[in-house]
Structure 1
Amino acid sequence: MRVTGRATTLSWIPSESVGNWLRGGFDLGLSHYDDPPRDVVAGTDDVRALRDDDRFRFANVLTGWAEFGDGPTTAGYGEDSDLFMGSTRVRLGVGTATFLGFTLPVLRADPEISQDRVVLRQTVGGRTGVPLPRPVKHPPYVRWHAPIVWTTLRLTLTRDGGRNVELVGASAFPRHWVYDSDGRLALKSGLTLLQDWMDHSFGDRTPWGDQDSPALTVAAESAAERSLSSSIMTGGVAPEVTRLPEGTAVVRQGDVGTDVHLVLDGVLDVRVDGDVVAELGPGAVLGERAVLEGGRRSATVTARTAVRLARVPATALDLDALRSVAQEHRREDPPAAPHA
């Protein structure tokens, strides 16, 4: 039996992920933020078209196959497994200049083959062609080139037809979205750490120096949440954006609440009666149940990492949209993922 699979990451720069002195350059148009990628990526040709349309910074496409039979299992990487590096547009005076990215060699581990399972692993990355001079915390203490970005994907193929996709390593910046073998958005990197990336992601502190960074990932939010998040960020009422440290309780079970929150960055734990029942990451909406069901929070939501949140009053949002989010949450398999 032949099993084939695909794993894809698209890496992009959300506006809320850029801070400190870099934000001024973005806001002046010297570089640009990215719109969120699509929910579905059909295949390699689709990734190539998105790159040519400047829809992401870089992509990791890992394809592979495994042949399971009565004899020894065989496996390999697909010919279209590769890095797709984007370019950077910079506004100069009345025009723009495009800088092609610098690519690093694709790193592929030998397939791990057993009788009933095959594991494929691929790392891709590089850096923008635009210089980023800055002080750093390691020799030589000053860097001219931009830091390295990368993702490491693991694709597991099993005899029963399983095709499991994981993001097992990634640079701390930018945001990484992960798509499964059917091309559907499945996972997101949970946290962007711009300063850490600028301070550390070069030289030996990259996979090309034998040092990867574990990726903190969370399940992608529902389609209804993605639609509602656009209303929160671009609706008639400007959201209040807050940054909260690790350990902060955003809402508490039983409290009265009329605001709705959108997670922009970071990971939060959802607790009901003290037990962790779910985790929330970028793109998740919380607070809709209190608005729809009597005004009291149904759970305590605590920041597992530092987080950035956008908050708007529920009166600024469409009630049908809130109901759609609540309905999708209730359709999840147990244990349910209640939102405060």
Structure 2
Amino acid sequence: MAFDEAATVGTVLRALDDGMAAEDLLLDVIASVQGRVGREWAANSITVAQEHAATAINDRAVAAVALHPSVHKEPTRGRVTVACVDGEWHALPARLLAEVLRIRGWRVDYLGAQVTAPHLVAHLHRTGPDAVALSGSLATRLPAAHATITACQAVGTPVIVGGAAFGPGGRYARLLGADSWAPDARAAADELACGPLPRPRPGHQAIDDLPHLNDQEYTLVARSRPRLVRAVFTQLENAYPAMRAYTEVQRERTAEDLSHIVEFLAAALYTGDEDLFCGFLLWTAGVLEARGVPAASLLPALELLQRELQDFPRATATLRAGAARLTATPLTAAGTAV
């Protein structure tokens, strides 16, 4: 947190010189520190600016490890493309996986954050990798992940996925038809080392293979997000006149929170899983509590959204489930669910 990039890089290079395995350094030190950075931000112990700065320094530390003479070697295995889901800006997990695969002898094309399906498929046509490793941290990107998985498989390239977006135990990886899932970078590297992933069959997974999407609720809610945010914001102002005295920053934050609620509601409708939405609400409640905002402040917004979406049975059921979970779950002083 001193933002001393030179000291950080020097520390990891000394660890390599002292004989620490590069993979352990990447995953047990740098990745662990990054996890703590995220938890400290959620607990309101550090600012967004501090979180961004620490992440940038961690990224430079990863680069320093990757370029160390003891690590940088010629590939002895096949080729893997590593990319983040379209709309996914949390690139460090994918970067760590790319470096672990290089250490294990793979030739790796690391494409970074927010890779669209057409750009990824164009790359696959040019390079013909053995597999695509797709990373996603935010569940709101699952519809884009589904499209990307399907597009890669359509050109005969198997897809292994990982990251928090794919849910506990990789439940959404299976739902969206990924060829494999791994809980972390080590497991992904181990899976790829066991042998080539089977080439997907033509038509292996169609984008419309989720029958619950036939009701169009996901599409209509996702497309209506700006209108829903405006409507709920206006109704909150009418119900709670104190909101009219909010600063511009407070108004922007409130609108952002409402937008995130609708985004995660849409993701829950896409996957057909209420737990996805409930988990997001509990996480948001913890973040708010850590900043002195009562978790109960989310309940009026959920009630207003139910009114706006009264003709959408799955959406209203999901909102009711979220409100019930929020009411029933105590939070610790640090703002996390007990």
Same fold (TM over 0.5): no
TM-score (normalizing by structure 2): 0.26
More helix by share: 2
